[in-house]
Structure 1
Amino acid sequence: MGRLERHATITDVAALAGVSVGTASKALNGRGSLREETRRRVRDAARQLNFEANAGARNLHSGRTYTVGMITTDTIGRFSIPVLMGAEDALGAGEMSIFLCDGRGDPIREQYYVKTLLSRRVDGIIVTGRRTEARAPIGVGLPVPVVYAFISSADPDDCSVVPDEAGGARKAIDHLLAIGRGRIAHITGPDHHNSARVRAAATTERLAEEGLSLVAPPLFGGWSEAWGGQAAGILLGSGTEFDAVFCGSDQIARGVSDALRAAGRRIPEDVALVGFDNWDVMIEGAKPPLTSVDMNLQGLGRSAAERLLAAINGSPSPGRHALPCHLVVRESTTVPLRSPPASPPGPAGQ
């Protein structure tokens, strides 16, 4: 119940066959000087995992360098690394390499990396980062295709692959309503942040569709455990009755969880709790483990890379492409079933 289904990747095939990703790629594409026994082992692993190599990667036009650049503004890697892993899964079967460049949100540094990547004759560029609001294009009239992943370009003609954050928030509310919770509070990040605004608006709209409203206006603050604990204290101190809290991030939810338990509120019996991001460090450390919205960042990276491959092959897909989020249900919203009372003993001898 807590795991998302996913397709096997070239990394999975390599691990099962006991070889490197590069060796697995060569074996599946009939390239390189490999022993037949190695090729057979890789092919057997691929069949066992029902792995299908990316057709776009196999059919790239000749004359390419088989390299792709990735420029990120995510200095801590929380979002860009899963996107990178997904992109590598899609590109690995075509023996393509990725050059990762950290722009650090500095336009001058970004332009330096664009020029550097173009000088290396990369076949395309993926742009990613921490924020989800639209950003200025990385360049105009570039000689290679560019795809934006997780963040989107302000130019509607660019290809942007983003998570459907509003849809994810709606799924969280649907779940809370389905388990009988109707007095819901929402605690999220700063109100100047696009994700915080989008998730709060979707939460309010979904409840309104059911004739309901939040028990209090959305509480905007920081993306931190400290803010979660502080906001939970505000709710508890106000005397507001609530039986569920939907948080705009797992970090916030972790802080809320600690504050509620300290106040004697049981999770989920008294208060059901849902987070956003499905960040393993937070969800596994929470007590109990946290139900959370997963943006499927690796899948988003795969989709971005596949669209980049298609663009390299002459089939671009301009526009903003929103991929669905998934809700992963754990103990923070699942009340354990109580054992039925023991039957009284019957008469002696029965």
Structure 2
Amino acid sequence: MSDGMERDVVAPRGRPVTLRDVAKDAGVSVATASKALNDQGRMTAETRTRIQEAARRLGFRPNGLAQSLLRRRSFTVGMLTNDTYGRFSLPVMAGISEALVDNGVSVFLCNVEDDPRLGQLHVDAMLEKRVDGIIATGKRIDRQLPVDLSRLGVPVIYAFTEPDPNSIAFVSDDEGGARLAVEHFIRLGRRRIAHVTGPTTFTVVHRRAEAYRAVLAEAGLPVGPVLMGRWSESWGRDAVAELFGEGGSAPDAIFCGNDQIARGVIDALRERGIDVPGSVGVVGFDNWEIVAAESRPPLTTVDMNLVTLGREAGMTLLSLVDGKPVEPGIRKLPCRLVVRQSCGRPLDG
């Protein structure tokens, strides 16, 4: 894009010009623009001049944090995960990238699986590349990654994985998310609420179950059955067979520990001729779009706000890199309820 023509790139009224605007105007990546404006990196003199002219034309003023990073650092952050499917790590990474991109910092992801040797190889490679810091994330919040990140000489942030002692970590508020689901059922007039969730070996299973029981007790409602099993649609179908077997009072609402279980529950209820949401409301957990939005009816579910969680982790890492003090500890970020059609309307319409 070196045609010599000026591009009509203007920041929206009231918003300062960002590094992304300069990069777009010059036809280069954000990282290249950042290096050019700080007289670093390899590129042609023509490219460097074009970027600098774009910055002057747009009135770009780099913020102090970006400048301090670029003077001392490598413009890269490493991210470690054992989430082989990317179900949780990819939205976390999206949030991290949102936080870092306008500072010219790139993120590269390494999958350590559950292999300590592989994890150490990735950490060594990151340190050789002089990363500004490392963010660790995983497929569950109650298990550490299989690598020691406690004394690396660079800032480390934990996001959606169990942290080392006295470190900085971000997790979703599972208890709060469960409360959102059960309180929503109660507002809709549901009174016989069951809970179908995952394996007993997961800490979040017990936290959500405790919140479920607490909300029912506070509302003066009977605590329904809590069935623990697998994180799968097949377990959701099996649980319906148990809940709607002979004897006892069938539930009019089912709070599920994840969206896969919820979809299995909905399918099994349909096979029994039970209307969802007319007779039984269903709420899931995770807001996994390819499952929740494609369920029939579309699934009301709890979103753990993992993009926001990643953004907060990224911004905190930038603060650490800039030498700002950050208190250690675990930050619990609130969840939100995404309402679709699987719960129905209040009984009074």
Structure 1: give runs of 5+ residues left out of the alignment: 1-7, 47-52, 340-350
Report the Cα distance in structure 2 between the residues aligned to 1:275 and 1:41, rounded to whole angstroms. 50
Describe the superposition over 1:306-325 as per-residue Cα deviations: whole angstroms up to 9, x where unpaired: 11111111123311001000
Q: Does 1:80 find its partner at 2:89?
A: yes
TM-superposed CA distance for 1:42, in Å, is 8.5
Maintained 8 Å contact 1:54/1:93: no
Q: 1:39 to 1:335 in 2, by over 3 A?
A: farther
- For the residues of structure 2 that align with 1:160 and 1:149, how far apart are their CA atoms? 6
| Alpha-carbon offset, residue 99 of structure 1 | 2.0
Of residues 261, 264, 284, the one that matches 1:275 is 284
Which residue does the alignment assign to 2:338? 328
Going from structure 1 to structure 2, the CA distance change for 1:35 and 1:282 (only over 3 Å counts) comes to same
| Secondary structure at 1:213 match in 2 | coil
Q: Residue in 1 aligned with 2:136?
A: 127
1:89 to 2:98 alignment: yes
Shift in Å, 1:193: 1.0
Match of 1:204 among 205, 213, 231: 213
**2:12 aligned with 1:22:** no
Counterpart of 1:236 in structure 2: which amino acid? F
**Percent of pairs with identical residues:** 44
Letter in 2 for 1:272: G
Where does residue 5 of structure 1 map in the other structure?
Answer: none
Counterparts of 2:180 and 2:58, CA distance in 1: 39
Q: 2-side partners of 1:23 and 1:279: how far apart?
A: 30
- Report the counterpart of residue 151 of structure 1 in structure 2: 161
Counterpart of 1:236 (choices 235, 238, 244) is 244
Pairwise mapping of residues 25-44 of structure 1 onto structure 2 (< 5 A)?
A: 26=33, 32-34=48-50
Q: Flag the 1:120–1:30 CA change in 2: closer, same or farther, 3 A.
A: closer
1:233 CA displacement: 1.2
Change (3 A) 1:336 1:184: closer
How big is each residue's C-alpha offset from its partner over 1:144-166, in whole Å with a ceiling of 9 and x where there is no partner?
Answer: 010000113141x1000100011
- Secondary structure, in 3 states, of the residue corresponding to 1:62? helix
Normalising by structure 2, we get a TM-score of 0.82
Q: Conserved in 2, the CA contact under 8 Å of 1:250 and 1:277?
A: yes
What is the aligned length? 318
Inter-CA distance 210–41: structure 2 relative to 1 (3 Å threshold): farther
Pick aligned residue for 2:228 from 220, 237, 246: 220
Instruction: For structure 2, list consecutive stretches of 5 or more residues without a partner in the other structure.
Output: 1-14, 39-47
The answer (yes or no) to whether the contact 1:134–1:154 under 8 Å persists in 2 is no
Query: Counterpart of 2:156 in structure 1: which amino acid?
Result: V
Per the TM alignment, residue 139 of structure 1 is displaced from its structure 2 partner at its CA by: 2.4
Q: What SS is found at the alignment partner of 2:331?
A: strand
Cα offset, 1:138, TM superposition: 2.9
Equivalent residue runs for 1:231-310 within 5 Å: 231-239=239-247, 240-310=249-319
Secondary structure at the residue paired with 1:285?
Answer: coil
Find out whether 1:98 has 2:107 as its counterpart.
Answer: yes
Contact 1:152 1:161 (8 Å CA) reproduced: no
CA–CA separation in structure 1 for the residues paired with 2:159 and 2:186: 32
CA deviation string 1:233-266 (max 9, x = no partner):
1101144321100000000000000001111111
Q: Which of 175, 178, 185 is the equivalent residue of 1:169?
A: 178
Offset at residue 199 of structure 1 (A): 1.2
Q: 1:146 and 1:35, CA in 2 relative to 1: closer, same or farther beyond 3 A?
A: closer
Q: Please tell me whether the aligned partners of residues 30 and 101 of structure 2 are also in contact (alpha carbons under 8 angstroms).
A: no
Deviation at 1:277, TM superposition (A): 0.2
Displacement of 1:208 after TM fit? 1.4
162 and 338 in structure 1: CA distance in 2 versus 1, 3 angstrom threshold? closer
Q: Is contact 1:56–1:306 with CA below 8 Å preserved after alignment?
A: no
Q: Quote the Cα distance in structure 2 between the aligned partners of 1:41 and 1:328.
A: 43
